[in-house]
Amino acid sequence: MTHEDIEEIEWLIREIENSLDNSEFTELASLSLRLQSIVQKLTENADKKQTIDERHLEKFEKLLTRVRKYQVQTELKFKEYTLKISKQTKMHNAYKQS
């Protein structure tokens, strides 16, 4: 894992957290794909080397934990978002009918 990979992962993590906070689901999807691509590249390179040092293994484990946390947060945020939109739509339709 290079220094550039680590910097990009850290940047992506900040952007993912920001997108989650702002319920920017389109941006979140794009960022998630980039993160997936980087992790896939890193794991493919690790398979070729056949050795991963302890420090990199710990980083991968922490990254996996964060990704799982993001999945849960995304599901919760999206449910909240769809519920909010549904309520707004119902209120708008009720207003239009009266």
Q: How do residues 51-82 score in pLDDT, each as one tens digit? A: 567 777 777 777 778 877 887 888 888 888 88
Q: How far is CA 66 from the centre of its chain?
A: 8
pLDDT of residue 1: 61
Instruction: Give the separation between CA 51 and CA 33, rounded to whole angstroms.
Output: 26
The band of 5, judged by pLDDT with boundaries at 50, 70 and 90, is confident
- Which is more confidently placed, 80 or 5? 80
Q: How do residues 23-55 score in pLDDT, each as one tens digit? A: 888 888 888 888 888 877 877 765 555 556 777
pLDDT of residue 16: 87
Domain ranges in the chain?
A: 3-97
